[in-house]
Amino acid sequence: MLSPPHNPNSHPTRTTLSCNQCDRTFSRPSHLNRHRLTHLPPSRRNTIPCLYCDQTFSRKDVLLRHLRAAHDVDMPTNSSQQKSCYRCVRRKLKCDRALPCRSCAVSTATEPCAYPPIDQAFGIRTQLFEHSYDASTTIHSVGDSRSRHNDQSEFTTESPETFSSLSQTLDPLMLDADQFSPVFSGRPALAGETAMFGPSMNTGVQFDFRCSGFDWLDFDVPDVELAIGCAVGDAGISAPTSLVPGLLPSSPVHPITVDHSKPPVLPWPFEQGQETASARCPLPPLREVLQNSLQSSSGTKTAALEGLVQILSEQKLPKPEDVSERNMAMGIDLLKRLLDVYFSTFQMIQPIFHTPTWSMADCPTMLLATMACIGAVLSSEPNSVELSSSISGFCAPIITWLGVSDSANYSDISYLASLCLHQIYSLGSGNRQLYQNADRTRGVLIGSLRGLGLLRSRPSVQEDTDINGSIATHGTSLEAEWVAWAAREKEVRIAWASFEYDCSLCTLTSRRGAVDLSELPSKLPCMDSLWEAPSASAWAALKSRMPVNSLGASVSSVVGAAIAGTPIPERLSAWAKRLCSQVIGRLLWDLKQLELVSTTEYFGLSSLSTGQKQSKVSLLKALDCLLETMDHPTSTGDLVGYNISSLLCHYSHLYTADDIMDMILYIVRSVASRGSGQDNGVDLARRRLISALGNDPRRARMLAWHAGQIVAVANEYLVSAPCEIMRLFMSYIFIIAFAQYYPRSQHTGPGIQVRLDLPNHHDDQKRVVEEWIQTGGPARIGSAEDILAQGSTKRIIQDAQIMLQRLRSWGLAEKFAKILQCFDNNGE
């Protein structure tokens, strides 16, 4: 029997879709949308770029033929492109591709939810092709807003990215080195987001090399042998099992409630002024906990360490007449040496202790332990790395034991100071277990500071009580007034030190900070001369001759003046200026995060890059302004403040130019984790980086100068702190990438010669640098006479490893040195 002729009217429920540009009709919206793209003008027409050359194509099948004919690339056929589970395919059910999927989960069948195996070879070779094709289908949606508004009903297609697909991505922060991070998986990036300060990333292939969320502390590095012939640090020392909270020796723990009076704090807005009873838990004696920690430690068990365990088992140090055992005497002697190192080196970095009134005998042993731990890192003691690791093995159980046994310690400022110092050590240790423990307990530190009111949100940045005028002076002696002022100032300084630690964690891990800028203390730390006054009378005399802001200038006034380009208030300490730089750096970091989460990979908002460009420029100028006011240090403390601020300022210029820096980081992490094997993503990043550096050579040379200034500051005076190690490493990898990928065609003639690692203090040097940035020419750094000459990359890597060797006590330095060695080994 013959089939009847097709009658369009025989299916009244089917909708006929007509093109408003021509007379063609379609039965499916997808067909109509695809047809409408043919009416687009050439400037908005979708093209599919070839990953191996500059040609573009309008059809996927034509591109495939081109790849086979011109580049000998034959895309393999997948044995099975089935993405649903076997049961849903057999029963023709909708599969959400979870494990187990929803259909299998709600069914009563005993058959497991299983999927066909994934052909890894197929996935790797086709991933770049598929993503570039998907990216090309969305470019037209980010054209000029006026055209998009006029044609919204005409040229609207569904985005290939859906919010549900994001819920199944892995957390890149916890990936091992050999895993593939979804942040760098090549999802399409809109052109608006990829250009921060220039159009260098606006190429045909839309890949997202942004590195937000990348955690250096949790990044695995192959165990390679360093070419400099000696270990830089010891990141491989295993942490004792007692370091993790909750792994205290087993003992029946029964919470008991006791009446404990404590000053009113503000843990919740609804409990203002109420006294709460703190919970106490009976635990094993601290001596037993520390003995178990010493036995499980991998370091050398010396008599001095055993004596240190004995004296740290009590809340206060024993009196000299009570020290009869030889081990205890050796432990106290070791403790004194390490504390001397702490005050001579780290006190300048974080001046939180009032040395004129500080006494080792009156200081809690938990705080002494953390100070000694950092002192061991910076000391020249034999086996200082093992020593600091062993002492850290005492610190964590002490902090955990005291917090669990009596929650009132969370309101003790000495306890919070020890918690902050040990977390700083954990960041630089290079030990993943210590870092993760610090990451978990950061909330305890910040939450406790909030409970004490040292961190609290204010309706106005100007609203705060005068922290110095709040101390009563009537009826009290000058000595008591001085001690009370020092105690209050110490609390404020510990809050600021915790904020700076929080900023370091943000920089090292690319995670959002726990401290909000609105809850910072409204006043900065006082002048160093007041803080270091040796007596109450000297303090009072200095105070009477100084302006009010010498006791603590307003944060908002200093930061506001720096952003506006007006003179900042006088009588500010170097640390106070550095803290203002940290505030501005946090603002820049927050802007970058906002730009990232607005992209299609996250929430699909419109681009924020253009609107925030002027804000970034103003904040970077404010950093330059603050740094210029610190250019003439008069003490070692001022020099430390200048160096850290300088590294922060120049590093901010690098990471805000994320279209270049993020491609460099993508290459670094890929080569360090997977070696020099063929990687299409790395090859694409290299080509994009070469294009970015060549499209704006003046900007590239400016960034190279900023990276060189970080090296110059470190050469002049090296500050040994975890965050500074990372900034130094980042500057070197930028210089290495510049030397490797800067187009040689831009290296025109001899030009003017400049040395990038010289401090920019003199006018003559500034003029030479400005001319080099404008015209180019040979540039020297370290032992590399010309960074663009053949073989300069290897010399720069050697210089970087020698620099990191000077920071060998920090395990983090070894991790970065090994990454550089991977570059050298893989011929980068």
Q: What is the pLDDT of residues 462-516, one digit of tens each?
A: 545 444 444 444 446 899 999 999 999 999 999 999 999 999 888 888 788 899 9
pLDDT at 195: 35
pLDDT at 153: 39
List of residues 6+ apart from 460 with CB closer than 8 A:
none
Cα angle: 259, vertex 263, 264; to 5 degrees: 100
* Highest mean pLDDT of the ranges 55-59, 271-275, 338-342, 742-746: 338-342
For the segment 721-727, the average pLDDT, to the nearest whole number, is: 89
Cα angle: 383, vertex 384, 387; to 5 degrees: 90
530, 575 in Cβ contact below 8 A? Answer: no
* Highest mean pLDDT of the ranges 52-61, 367-376, 659-668: 367-376
pLDDT at 738 over 90: yes
pLDDT at 251 over 50: no
Tell me which residue of 59, 50, 198 sits closest to 132, measured CA to CA. 50
Q: Where are the alpha helices (DSSP H) in 510-635?
A: 528-531, 536-545, 555-564, 574-597, 609-629
199, 695 in Cβ contact below 8 A? Answer: yes
Tell me which residue of 584, 579, 533 sits closest to 553, measured CA to CA. 579
pLDDT at 827 over 50: yes
pLDDT at 384 over 70: yes
Q: Which of 12-21, 382-391, 613-622 has the lowest mean pLDDT?
A: 12-21
pLDDT-derived band at 259 (thresholds 50, 70, 90) equals: very low
415, 402 in Cβ contact below 8 A? Answer: yes
For the segment 563-568, the average pLDDT, to the nearest whole number, is: 92
pLDDT at 383 over 50: yes
* Three-state secondary structure call for residue 780: strand
For the segment 645-652, the average pLDDT, to the nearest whole number, is: 95
pLDDT at 245 over 60: no
For the segment 231-256, the average pLDDT, to the nearest whole number, is: 38
Query: How many CA atoms within 13 Å lie on the side-chain side of 524?
Result: 27
For the segment 222-239, the average pLDDT, to the nearest whole number, is: 50
352, 501 in Cβ contact below 8 A? Answer: no
pLDDT at 594 over 60: yes
Query: How many CA atoms within 13 Å lie on the side-chain side of 396?
Result: 31
> pLDDT by residue (tens digit) across 661-678?
888 888 888 887 776 566
pLDDT at 145 over 80: no
Measured CA distances, 491 to 353, 412, 495, 580 (Å): 10, 10, 6, 18
Strands 25-26 and 17-18: antiparallel
pLDDT at 726 over 80: yes
**Cα–Cα distance between 362 and 365 in angstroms, integer?**
9
* Three-state secondary structure call for residue 743: coil
Tell me which residue of 137, 213, 194 sits closest to 689, measured CA to CA. 194
Residues 522-550, buried b or exposed e (16+ Cβ, 10 A)?
bbbbbbbebbbbeebeebbeebeeeeebb
**Cα–Cα distance between 223 and 348 in angstroms, integer?**
34
How many residues would you count in the chain?
A: 828
Amino acid at the residue 260: H
**Cα–Cα distance between 427 and 814 in angstroms, integer?**
13
pLDDT at 660 over 80: yes
pLDDT at 346: 95
For the segment 300-314, the average pLDDT, to the nearest whole number, is: 76
> pLDDT by residue (tens digit) across 800-810?
999 998 888 88
630, 641 in Cβ contact below 8 A? Answer: yes
pLDDT-derived band at 136 (thresholds 50, 70, 90) equals: very low
For the segment 43-55, the average pLDDT, to the nearest whole number, is: 69
pLDDT at 172: 28
pLDDT-derived band at 210 (thresholds 50, 70, 90) equals: low
Tell me which residue of 50, 29, 405, 430 sits closest to 223, measured CA to CA. 430
Tell me which residue of 584, 595, 707, 501 sits closest to 212, measured CA to CA. 595
* Three-state secondary structure call for residue 48: strand
pLDDT at 818: 86
240, 283 in Cβ contact below 8 A? Answer: no
Measured CA distances, 1 to 4, 7, 356, 378 (Å): 9, 18, 109, 95
Q: Where are the alpha helices (DSSP H) in 137-227?
A: 145-150, 163-166, 191-194
**Cα–Cα distance between 364 and 540 in angstroms, integer?**
28
Amino acid at the residue 668: V
Measured CA distances, 281 to 316, 364, 380 (Å): 21, 20, 40
Q: Which is more confidently placed, 174 or 280?
A: 280
* Highest mean pLDDT of the ranges 122-126, 415-419, 589-593: 415-419
